[in-house]
Amino acid sequence: MFTAFMFSRYYTYMGSNRMKILYKCTFLLAAIGFLMYIIRSKSRPQLAPSILSSENLANKDKNNNNTSFNNVAGLEEIKEELQETIDFINNSNKYRRMGARIPQGVLFYGPPGTGKTLLAKAVAGETKSTFLYASGSEFVEKYVGVGAKRVRTLFEKAKKEAPSIIFIDEIDAIGTRRNMDSNNEKDQTLNQLLVEMDGFNTDETIIVIGATNRLDLLDEALLRPGRFDRHIYVGNPNMKAREQILEVHTKNKPLDNTVNILDIAKKTHGLSGADLANIANEAAIIAVRNDRPRVSIDHFNAAIERVLAGLEIKNPTVLLKEKRTVSVHEAGHALVSKILKIDMVQKISIVPRGQTLGYVLRFPEDDRYLLTKQELMDKISAFLAGRAAEELIFNEITTGAKDDLDKATDLARKMVCDYGMGSLGHMAMDESYVKHNYDIIRVEIENLLDKGYQSALKILRENRDILNHISNTLMEEETIDSHQLDKIFETYKKPIDYAT
Ligand code: ADP
Ligand code: ZN
C-alpha cells in the first residue's frame, strides 16, 4: 500500500512548477524522515523489559474494527463452525440462564497467511467485541515474571472491556510442551495463561483465540477442556476459495476486461490467502508504475511471478505437473477406501498442506476395538492404493507414497509379529525372536504387502472409470466432499461389493 502511494505521488509531481516541486519535496523528505524514525524506534533493541503499558502490548481495536465475515472469503465451513461461538457471545445470557459454561478457547492452526488473524478479527467485528491482539513472542522475555505479568495485564484489560476477543498469534512461542530442561520464565508465562483461562468470572464474556502453525508442539494442558478445546484447521484455499479471495481483494481495483479472476485462481494452486492479497496489490502497483488507468492480466502475471519469486515454494509449473499425479494418487486412496468400506471418506483434497501435496480425510464409521485379519488387509490395500493408481494410470511410480509405505509396512509388521496373522502361526514374537528370525519375518511382511497391493490394483482396474472421474474432478475443483463422492459413484453402475 505504501509503495503504491509513493508512486502515484511521484507521477503527480511531474507536471508541477519548480517551486511547488521544491516545496513538496521538502514535505516528502520530512515525511520519510518521520517514518524512518518510527520504524527505527520500533526495531530498536530494548535495554530493560518494557513494563507494561498494556497499550503497546495489545492493540485495542474496538471502534475501528469493521472486519466482518464478508471480508473473509472461502472458509465457509469454518465460518459456520464459528457461528456457535458468535452466538455464545451475542446471547451469553441465554446460555448462563441454562447454567452452561461458555466455552472460551478456540485454536486456529495451519500454515501462515491463511486468514487466522482475519477470522479472529471478524469474530470480534461480528460480535462488536473489543479485539485485543497479542503475539506469543511478546511474552517471551529474559526476566522471570515479566511474561506472566504481561499475560495478567492483557486479561485484565480484556475483562475491563468485555465482551472481548483476545487473539494470541504464534501461541507456540509460549505454549510449547514443557519438558525436563524447562525454562522457568516460559513456564511461568504459560502457567499464568492457564490460570487466567481457568479463572474467568462467569459474568464476563471473553473468548481467547490462539493461532499456531504447529499444533503438535503445544503443551497438552493448553488443549484441555475449558481451555483451547476447539481446534479449527485453517488451510490453504482450493480453487473456488482462491477465486473468492481474489474477488475480495480486487473489489476496490479497476480491472480491464483482459482480467479473468477464475483463470488467475487456476494458476495459483498452492498459494495462501495472504499470497493472493499480495498478488492483487502488486498487480495494482505495477499498473500504476506503467501509468495505466486499469489493471490488466499482464500486470497480474507479472505480480504472480514477483510474489512467487519471493516465496520459497516450488515453481507453480512444477506444481501443475504434479497436480495430475497427486489427483490420481489421492483418487486411488479414496476409491479403494470407499469400495472396501474401511472408513467413511469425508474429503479428498489436493490442496497442499504442509509437506503433503494431497490427502484423503477419513473417519471411522464407528468405534472399533477388534479388527479382523481381512479388515487389516483392506487397510493395507487402502494405504497402497495411491501408488497402485499411479502405476495403473502412468505406468510409473513416484516418491509420493513414502508415508503410505511406512504405514502399510508398520501394519503388516504388527500383523506378523504382534497379532499372529502371518503364516508363522499364532505366536507373539518378542524383540529378540524378531532380531534372530528377521529374514523369515521380512518375507512374511512382503507377502502381506504384496497381497494388499495386488488387491488394490485389481479394484482400481475394475473401476477405472470412477478412478478417472474422481481424479478429473480433483484436477478441476481440488477438493471433493463425501456427497460429491457419493454422486460420482451413483453415476456409474453399482460397484462390485468387495467387502466381506
Ligand atoms: P494468518 O493469521 O493465518 O497468518 P492473516 O489472517 O494475517 O493470516 O492473513 C493475512 C492477509 O491475507 C489478510 O489480512 C488478508 O488480506 C489476506 N487473506 C488471507 N486469507 C483470506 C481470506 N480467506 N479472505 C480474504 N483475505 C484473506
Ligand atoms: Zn498416499
Based on the domain organization, do 281 and 339 belong to the same domain? no
| 334 and 399 Cβ atoms separated by less than 8 Å | no
How far are the Cα atoms of 66, 246, 255, 272 from residue 281, in angstroms, in the given order?
Answer: 20, 10, 12, 14
Based on the domain organization, do 210 and 351 belong to the same domain? no
pLDDT in tens, 46-87: 333 333 333 344 444 444 578 999 999 999 989 999 998 899
Based on the domain organization, do 126 and 253 belong to the same domain? no
| 124 and 162 Cβ atoms separated by less than 8 Å | no
Ligand 1 mean position to 253 CA, how many Å?
18
pLDDT in tens, 318-350: 567 788 999 999 999 999 999 998 888 888 999
Q: Strand 130-135 to strand 59-60: parallel, antiparallel, or no bridges (unpaired)? A: antiparallel
Four-residue CA torsion sign, 415, 418, 424, 425:
negative
> Has residue 484 been placed in a domain?
yes
Four-residue CA torsion sign, 381, 382, 384, 388:
positive
What is the C-alpha separation between 421 and 208, in angstroms, rounded? 49
Q: Is the confidence at residue 98, as pLDDT, over 90?
A: no
**Does the C-beta of 279 come closer than 6 Å to ligand 1?**
no
pLDDT in tens, 473-493: 999 889 999 999 999 999 886
Provide the pLDDT for residue 456: 97
> Has residue 499 been placed in a domain?
no
Q: Is the confidence at residue 4, as pLDDT, over 50?
A: no
> Has residue 439 been placed in a domain?
yes
**Does the C-beta of 117 come closer than 6 Å to ligand 1?**
yes
> Has residue 7 been placed in a domain?
no
Is 330 assigned a catalytic role?
Answer: yes
Q: Is the confidence at residue 25, as pLDDT, over 50?
A: no
Based on the domain organization, do 304 and 383 belong to the same domain? no
Based on the domain organization, do 110 and 201 belong to the same domain? yes
> Has residue 394 been placed in a domain?
yes
The CATH number of residue 111's host domain is: 3.40.50.300
pLDDT in tens, 139-172: 887 677 788 888 899 999 998 988 899 999 999 8
**Which cell numbers hold the place of 195?**
490460570
Ligand 2 mean position to 362 CA, how many Å?
13
Q: Strand 105-109 to strand 206-212: parallel, antiparallel, or no bridges (unpaired)? A: parallel
Based on the domain organization, do 141 and 180 belong to the same domain? yes
Ligand 2 mean position to 215 CA, how many Å?
22
**Does the C-beta of 74 come closer than 6 Å to ligand 1?**
yes
| 207 and 106 Cβ atoms separated by less than 8 Å | yes
**Does the C-beta of 210 come closer than 6 Å to ligand 1?**
no
What is the C-alpha separation between 305 and 253, in angstroms, rounded? 20
> Has residue 299 been placed in a domain?
yes
Q: How confident is the model at residue 123 (pLDDT cuts 50, 70, 90)?
A: very high
Tell me how many domains the chain contains.
Answer: 3
Measured from the alpha carbon of residue 401, the closest ligand is 2
Last residue of a domain, one of 309, 332, 364: 309
Catalytic residue among 185, 330, 390, 444: 330
Q: Is the confidence at residue 281, as pLDDT, over 80?
A: yes
Which of the listed residues 118, 133, 246 should we mutate to test ligand 1's pocket, taking the one with most ligand atoms within 8 A of CB? Answer: 118
What is the C-alpha separation between 387 and 400, in angstroms, rounded? 8
Ligand 2 mean position to 356 CA, how many Å?
9
Provide the pLDDT for residue 1: 15
Range of 412's domain? 320-492
Q: Which segment of 233-237, 271-275, 313-317 scores lowest on mean pLDDT? A: 313-317
Q: Relative to the CA of 73, which ligand 1 atom is closest?
A: 24
Based on the domain organization, do 158 and 81 belong to the same domain? yes
Residue type, 160: K
**Does the C-beta of 408 come closer than 6 Å to ligand 1?**
no
Q: Is the confidence at residue 181, as pLDDT, over 60?
A: no
Provide the pLDDT for residue 180: 55
Last residue of a domain, one of 230, 248, 266: 230
The CATH number of residue 273's host domain is: 1.10.8.60
Q: Is the confidence at residue 44, as pLDDT, over 70?
A: no
What is the overall mean pLDDT for the chain? Answer: 81
Q: Which residues contact 59 (CB under 8 A, 6 or more apart)?
A: 131, 132, 133
> Has residue 1 been placed in a domain?
no
Q: Is the pTM of this model over 0.75?
A: no
> Has residue 17 been placed in a domain?
no
What is the C-alpha separation between 471 and 393, in angstroms, rounded? 11
Q: Which residues contact 128 (CB under 8 A, 6 or more apart)?
A: 163
Based on the domain organization, do 131 and 270 belong to the same domain? no
% of the chain residues with pLDDT over 90? 45
Measured from the alpha carbon of residue 358, the closest ligand is 2
Four-residue CA torsion sign, 423, 428, 433, 438:
positive
Provide the pLDDT for residue 352: 78
% of the chain residues with pLDDT over 70? 80
Based on the domain organization, do 283 and 367 belong to the same domain? no
Based on the domain organization, do 246 and 221 belong to the same domain? no
Q: Which residues contact 10 (CB under 8 A, 6 or more apart)?
A: none
Measured from the alpha carbon of residue 334, the closest ligand is 2
Provide the pLDDT for residue 48: 35
Last residue of a domain, one of 285, 309, 333: 309
Provide the pLDDT for residue 183: 65
**Does the C-beta of 405 come closer than 6 Å to ligand 1?**
no
Based on the domain organization, do 157 and 217 belong to the same domain? yes
The CATH number of residue 371's host domain is: 1.20.58.760
Helix (H) or strand (E) holding 201: none
Q: Is the confidence at residue 32, as pLDDT, over 70?
A: no
Based on the domain organization, do 95 and 218 belong to the same domain? yes
**Does the C-beta of 274 come closer than 6 Å to ligand 1?**
yes
Q: Count the alpha carbons within 13 Å of 457 in the hemisphere toward its beta carbon.
A: 14
Q: Is the confidence at residue 88, as pLDDT, over 80?
A: yes
- As a whole number, mean pLDDT of residues 100-119 equals 89
